[in-house]
Amino acid sequence: MRVSLRIRLLGLLAVPALLLGADKLQDALAGLKSKDASTYEKAAEFLAKHPQQARDPLQKLLQQYDDKDALTRFRAAKLLGDLNDQSSAEVMKKVLFSGLETNAAVRVEIIRALAKLGRKDVIIAYSNSGLEKASTVTAAIALALQGSADEDSKAELGRLLSSTDDERVSRAAVFAISKIYKPVLENPRNAMASKSSGLSKAASSRGKLPAPPPPPSTTPDDKAGNAKAKLEPTAADQAIFAALKAKGESKNPAITKEAAALLQEISKIYKQP
């Protein structure tokens, strides 16, 4: 009887606590609409500390397209990215592909959140869909892929750069591309060693010795007069180089200078067609 009574008492005490927690959650969600910075920061802090309770309400807020308050959806997108919950990526994908989110700033924040969640696949698919017309969002897509050395990301950056005349998008793409090749440009020997190691591991896993690589092209431009071996570009690399070359011949002097300078640096390390 005493044990049963204690359980009942604990249950009665838990109800007000749960109600209090629910009230705080609602207050925090309401705080996302506040134009007072302090109120918003306190709300965001509470929601970040309670990710399990905050996730579903934030996902619903993000899909309230009929709400004229785009700031709330913007903040919801940011928090969902910070919560690092992969289920939110599917909600963001749904929002983007629906075409119902008309505020470009909200779409930019969704792209940034997807980048935080590591969902470059969704970003690339959306970019390739042709649904996005705002240059601010397209520039955000390029920046979200910065430093991504996988073939899909490189191919998409090459496509973005070659298919736009918009200065904002072009500069974002050139910057993102520069971040991909920066490690190679700073330490080309490590890049070449890494490539050779990858070939050897792939071959050994199949039980075969790797075929001897073709003789590398060289350039005798180092200070000691020694020839430098150049890296073999992939198809995505070649697409980027072609896009940089085209931009280097564009009518925009700022873009021309940036693209030509980057291509010149890359050509010291990679073979050019």
Domain with 37, as residue range(s), is 22-133
123 and 171, same domain (yes or no): no
40 and 110, same domain (yes or no): yes
158 and 272, same domain (yes or no): yes
Answer whether residue 200 is part of any domain.
Answer: no
Tell me which of 108, 133, 158 is where a domain ends: 133
Average pLDDT over residues 37-42: 93
Instruction: Give the pLDDT of residue 199.
Output: 41
121 and 168, same domain (yes or no): no
Cα–Cα distance measured from residue 161 to residue 171, given in angstroms and rounded to the nearest whole number: 9
Residue 252: pLDDT band with limits 50, 70, 90? confident
Of 41-45, 220-224, 230-234, which range is least confident?
Answer: 220-224
| β-pair partners for 219 | 228
Residue 103 makes CB contacts below 8 A (sequence gap 6+) with 70, 73, 74
Residue 228: pLDDT band with limits 50, 70, 90? low
Answer whether residue 7 is part of any domain.
Answer: no
Domain harbouring 59, CATH code: 1.25.10
153 and 82, same domain (yes or no): no
174 and 253, same domain (yes or no): yes
Name, of 144-158, 204-218, 239-253, the range with top average pLDDT.
144-158
Q: Is the model's pLDDT at 23 over the cut of 60?
A: yes
Instruction: Give the pLDDT of residue 64.
Output: 92
237 and 127, same domain (yes or no): no
Answer whether residue 100 is part of any domain.
Answer: yes
User: Coil, strand, or helix at residue 231?
Assistant: strand
Instruction: Give the pLDDT of residue 8.
Output: 54
153 and 129, same domain (yes or no): no
Q: Is the model's pLDDT at 19 over the cut of 50?
A: no
Answer whether residue 53 is part of any domain.
Answer: yes
Q: What is the pLDDT of residues 65-104, one digit of tens each?
A: 876 789 999 999 999 999 998 999 999 999 999 999 999 9
Instruction: Give the pLDDT of residue 191.
Output: 55
Q: Is 271 exposed, middle or buried (0-12, 13-18, 19+ CB in 10 A)?
A: middle
Residue 225: pLDDT band with limits 50, 70, 90? very low
* Total number of domains constituting the chain: 2
Answer whether residue 260 is part of any domain.
Answer: yes
Residue type, 44: A
Q: How many CB atoms lie within 10 A of CB 9?
A: 10
Instruction: Give the pLDDT of residue 4.
Output: 59
The per-residue pLDDT of the chain, averaged, comes to 83
C-alpha torsion angle, residues 54, 57, 58, 61 (rounded to 10)? -160
Instruction: Give the pLDDT of residue 2.
Output: 54
68 and 113, same domain (yes or no): yes
Instruction: Give the pLDDT of residue 249.
Output: 87
Answer whether residue 57 is part of any domain.
Answer: yes
Q: Could you tell me if residue 166 is left (phi over 0), alpha (psi between -120 and 50 degrees) or otherwise beta? A: beta
Answer whether residue 140 is part of any domain.
Answer: no
Q: Is the model's pLDDT at 114 over the cut of 60?
A: yes
39 and 86, same domain (yes or no): yes
| β-pair partners for 228 | 219
Answer whether residue 199 is part of any domain.
Answer: no
Q: Is the model's pLDDT at 7 over the cut of 80?
A: no
127 and 184, same domain (yes or no): no
Phi, psi angles (nearest 5°) of residue 163: -105, 10
Residue 184: pLDDT band with limits 50, 70, 90? confident
Residue 230: pLDDT band with limits 50, 70, 90? confident
Q: Is the model's pLDDT at 11 over the cut of 60?
A: no
180 and 76, same domain (yes or no): no
